[in-house]
Amino acid sequence: MKNANEVKAIPTRFTPKAAELLGKITNKEESARKAAQAAYDQMVSDGMLWTDFLTVKAEGSTATPELREALLRARRKGFGAWAQKLYETPNTALSKEDIAKKNKLRTDVNKKITDDMKAMRRRQDPEYKASLSTAKGGARAPQQPTGQAKAAGSAAKVLESIQQAAKRAQAIEKPDFDVVELVNLLAKAQQLVVKH
C-alpha cells in the first residue's frame, strides 16, 4: 500500500515544461477568443450579415462570389503566406503530399468560415441563439424576447424575408418585371434594416 502523501503528490509525468506549455495554451486561447469577438463585433457594426458567410448558392445567402473569395482569402492569410501560395498553385505543379496539404487547408478554411457564420448568426438571430441554449440542455425554456431583443428578432426576420425575396426573384426564368432593379431595391431595404 502506498503512503497517503505519495498518492496525493503530483505525478512526475506532469512535468514543469508541460505545465508551462499548458498555461501558454490558455493564454493564447483567451487572446484568440477576444480577437474573434472583436472581429465579429466589427463586422456586425460594419453591416455584415451572418448570411454573407453562406456559400453563394446556398438558400438565403447574401454573399457574392467576390465576397466569398475575400472571406476565404482573409482566413487563408491567417495561416501565413504559405497558405495563399499553396492555394494559388495548380495541383499539376504539386506533389501528392502538397495536394493533400492543400485539400486539408481548404477543409480547415471552410470550417473556419462555417464557425464565423455561426458566431455571426448568434449575434444577429435571437431565435438561433435560443435554440442553441435549448439544444445544449439549457434548464430554462425559451423566453419571449422583450424590448430591444424583440425588435432585433423582428429585424432578423425582415432581413431573412428580404433575402428570400431576392433569391426567389432571381430564380424566375421569364419574369415580367425588372429583376435587377428589384434586387437593387431589396439590397437598399436590407441596408435600411441593418442600420436601424
Three-state SS across 65-91?
HHHHHHHHHHHHHHHCHHHHHHHHCCH
Q: Is residue 8 part of a domain?
A: no
Answer yes or no: is 81 within a domain: yes
* pLDDT at res. 81: 93
Nearest in space to 75 (alpha carbons), one of 47, 35, 118, 116: 116
> Residue 174: inside a domain, yes or no?
yes
Same domain, 99 and 184: yes
- What is the grid cell recorded at 177? 418585371
Do residues 76 and 129 share a domain? yes
Is 86 a member of any domain? yes
Count of domains for the chain: 2
Residue from 31, 46, 49, 64 nearest 117 by CA: 49
Task: Say yes or no: 34 and 49 in one domain.
Answer: no
pLDDT at 118: 95
Write out pLDDT tens, residues 20-43: 999 999 989 999 999 999 999 999
**Cβ neighbours, 10 Å, residue 2:** 8
Q: Are residues 124 and 31 in the same domain?
A: no
pLDDT at 4: 53
What DSSP character marks residue 53?
G
pLDDT tier at 137, thresholds 50, 70, 90: low
Q: Is the pLDDT of residue 2 over 70?
A: no
Residue 127 within a domain: yes
Alpha helices in the chain (DSSP H): 4-8, 16-46, 65-79, 81-88, 96-124, 126-135, 147-171, 179-195
Tell whether 36 and 72 lie within a shared domain. no
| CB contact set of 184 (below 8 Å; sequence gap of 6+) | none
Is residue 1 in some structural domain? Answer: no
d(CA 15, CA 145): 50
d(CA 154, CA 75): 31
Is residue 76 pLDDT above 90, yes or no? Answer: yes
The answer on 131 and 91 residing in a single domain is yes
For 20, the domain range is 13-42
Q: What is the pLDDT of residue 170?
A: 73
| Average of per-residue pLDDT across 115-119 | 95
